[in-house]
Structure 1
Amino acid sequence: MLFDDQFIQYFASFAFHATERPIALLILPGGERHLFVPRLEREHAQTFAQAERVVDYPEYPGDVHPMQRLAVHLKALGLDRGRIGVDHDGYPAVMGYSGPPVSEVLPDATVLRVSPGIDEQMALKSPAELALIRESVRWGDHAHRLLQKYTEIGASETDVEARATREATAAMVAAIGEQRRTPNRWLSGAVALYRGQIGAASALPHAMTSGVRFQAGDTLVTGAGAGVGGYLSELERTMFMGEPTAEQRTFFAHMLALQDIAFEALKPGATCASVDVAVQAYIDREGLQAYWRHHVGHGLEQRIHEAPFLDRGDARVLRPGMVLSVEPGLYVPGLGGFRHSDTILITDSGMEILTFYPRQLDDLIIG
């Protein structure tokens, strides 16, 4: 019994906006899937979901709570006893939702958390999944090239992002078709943006778009990707408006060195922790700890962040088929942020960098 919208998309190809109205996917013994949705989502689910049955309820909270209706459905199937695997013990508190947990509405069942096993399954990509991620990389690259092309002194962040994203998405749809685009919660086309990381604000790793105009001397941190068949990739670059200063060049070189260290450490059999440890050894050696804000990277697939994490606290072993972002960053108050992100694949013999946008400084100077 799954409530997480990304798990539901993974197992039933149903992308939706999670609201206070519970949605659940039941995977029965033998693999039959029942999608439990509010009435307003019934036609949506019947049209797009890969599920053998769609069951709906009138509304939340309703005269009978949706979780009680879900329990009645399970009892009718004779599945209200024994073991039930869940990602959450009930629908999570989304947009004001409240309600009883699974363990309360099905008191005769043994409720077990299965999220770690699902995360492990999702981390290992099939050839079909990898093909979609590679296509995402292609269109993320195209969107980023347009972003860099249209960025100029005096231009608005909002206008440049919108133009690059609109043109890249139109080109992608023309090339691969609307159906393969398959939106998910994060991306529904080809996207390139700055997310507010412009000038001094680029030193904020998760800044927000603010609509500022580009100025000479700005440090820029970008982001690009595309949603293809529900799958994502990640591309980020550090760029400069005009000739970078000696200080900007120094921190750019450190950032590039950090990413190269991470690339060398990524191989099957290594732990996620060992990659972060290798990167932070350089940071300690060079006295850069004051500018370090986050771990080296994370898994990618249908979610923009997912397990495993390239963090010294994650002991999981890297295995062939894993796709991860590699994005060690340095953030210098008053100067800017310095972060490249590339999407990589763990292979039988090492790793493959799937993104192919230029990484070197000379290719990332605008004007």
Structure 2
Amino acid sequence: MTGNGSPPSFTAADYRARMDRAAGDAADAGLAGLLIAPGPDLVWLTGYAPPAATERLTLLVLAAGQDPVLVVPALEAPDAANAVGAPALTLRDWTDGKDPYAATAALLGGTGRLGVSDNTWALHLLALQRTLPGTTYAALTEALPMLRAVKDTAELELMSAAGAAADATFEKIRTVPFAGRRERDVAGDLDALLRRFGHQQVDFTIVASGPNGANPHHEIGDRVIEDGDMVVLDFGGLKDGYGSDTSRTVHVGEPTDEERRVHDLVREAQEAGFRAVRPGAACQDVDRAARAAIDDAGYGEYFIHRTGHGIGVTTHEPPYMIEGEEQPLVPGMCFSVEPGVYLPGRFGVRIEDIVTVTEGGARRLNDTTREMVVVH
């Protein structure tokens, strides 16, 4: 990673192409322009990540037919100018004591609907609304949900590398002791291994043992893992700016017949979801395929979440594999396929791979075994 958070494989021309495409997509969606605040959208579009603690207005303004402009505080302008994508845009700085909202408003028409990145501070959005009372606003997830969904070749290489690092982490974690250790101890191992294999950021390390496995988003705690426990492992983060996310369910010692049966069922459901991935299929088709396998086996009420979520410069983003989502799958999309069965008070099983859509179907970005793994 460079100092401003940009993967080294992208050029100013790459960022300009993204900004131009985003502005064009906005126009096609009936938007007068886009306002991009600090966060993953800004990094993806420009390569620039401002200081996390700043409260001063930083905003990328995009509109079809106009050069992109980054409004930035003067004291942070030198860092912005050093971003990889800076040559592809115009910097317009403002100094303390001046009105940054008036400077931004001058770049926009007085009316129209504007797309705003989801994490824009209410402080800034409300000030813009006061300055431009004739404008209305829509969150990017609502207005342009597929903005970052289709990855190019370089992005897919980074996604594949992140997936391989997560796989290497699983291969190592399955060799460490589980029985007699706390969940948080194993989670600490996962964190260290992800970083060892190249992750700069670890977003989650779920270790859900025994009855805790029935909670899909269990927060790690001090429960001591026991012989006979099923343990759900779900971990991931960012490597060179792109995400990993994988889940495997292991067993401490030999599992019972029922535990094997439920694990096999989830593995079959995950395979069914993967086989449903192909260009032109709807997102909901992936959910339906995985869910049907679990429903048919009589465990449908215990599959309590969507089958998957998109992943890229964040570990959760559109598209979502859920009933009612008719968005067609397009080559280059990356998302999880992660069905699960959760038996309250007893145990849970989840198996998750990141998958990318190809011209002929799909490719997994995680390749560790999906069979039952016994740990000790």
TM (norm. structure 2) is: 0.79
CA, structure 1 residues 14+197, in 2 after alignment: closer, same or farther (shift >3 Å)?
Answer: farther
* Greater Cα shift, 102-111 or 237-246: 102-111
The yes-or-no answer on 1:32 pairing with 2:58 is no
Residue matched to 1:162: 188
Deviations 1:274-310, CA, capped at 9 Å, x for gaps:
2222233333322212211111111111111111111
Question: Unpaired runs of 5+ in structure 1?
Answer: 173-180, 182-187
* Residues 1-367 of structure 1 aligned to structure 2 (within 5 Å): 1-3=35-37, 5-15=39-49, 17=52, 22-27=57-62, 29-36=65-72, 45-48=80-83, 50-51=85-86, 52-53=90-91, 55-56=93-94, 58=96, 69-77=99-107, 79-81=108-110, 83=112, 85-87=114-116, 91-93=120-122, 97=123, 100=126, 102-109=128-135, 115-116=141-142, 118-172=144-198, 188-189=200-201, 193=205, 195-361=206-372, 364-367=373-376
Q: Percent identity?
A: 26
Distance 1:82 1:285 in 2: 53
Kindly provide the amino acid, as one letter, of the partner of residue 339 in structure 2.
Answer: P
Q: Which amino acid aligns with 1:27?
A: L
Secondary structure at 2:243 match in 1? coil
CA distance in 1, matches of 2:354, 2:45: 23
Q: For residues 114 and 89 of structure 1, what CA distance do their matches in structure 2 show?
A: 6
Preserved CA contact (<8 Å) 1:139 1:168: yes
**Alpha-carbon distance in 1 for matches of 2:114, 2:124:** 21
SS of residue matched to 1:26: strand
- Show CA shifts across 1:134-165 (max 9, x none): 11111111222222222321123333332343
Aligned residues: 337
SS in structure 2 at match of 1:270: coil
The one-letter code sitting in structure 2 at the alignment partner of 1:8 is L
Per-residue displacement from partner, 1:157-208 (whole Å, max 9, x unpaired)? Answer: 3333323432442353xxxxxxxx6xxxxxx346783x24122111101111
The change in CA–CA distance for 1:349 and 1:99 in structure 2 (over 3 A counts) is closer
SS in 1 for 2:114: strand
Q: Please identify which structure carries the higher strand content.
A: 2
Shift of the alpha carbon at 1:117? 5.7
Greater alpha carbon shift after TM alignment, 341-350 vs 227-236? 227-236
Distance in 2 (alpha carbons) for counterparts of 1:338 and 1:226: 21
1:109–1:356 CA distance, 2 compared to 1 (3 A): same
State the shift of 1:327 in Å. Answer: 0.3
Shift of 1:214: 1.9
| TM-score normalised according to structure 1 size | 0.81
Counterparts of 1:138 and 1:191, CA distance in 2: 17
Secondary structure of the equivalent of 1:85? Answer: strand
The 1-side partners of 2:41 and 2:62 are apart by 12
Residues 14-23 or 255-264, more deviating = 14-23
C-alpha distance in 2 between matches for 1:19 and 1:202: 39
Q: Distance in 2 between matches of 1:317 and 1:139?
A: 29
Q: Cα–Cα, structure 1 residues 157 and 342, in superposed 2: closer, same or farther, change >3 Å?
A: same
What are the superposed Cα offsets for residues 65-116 of structure 1, whole Å, 9 maximum, x if unpaired? Answer: xxxx332113455x343546322699344xxx58625333213556566545
Contact 2:270 / 2:337 at 8 angstroms: preserved in 1? Answer: yes
Q: Which runs of 5+ in 2 are unaligned?
A: 1-34
CA RMSD of aligned residues (A): 2.9
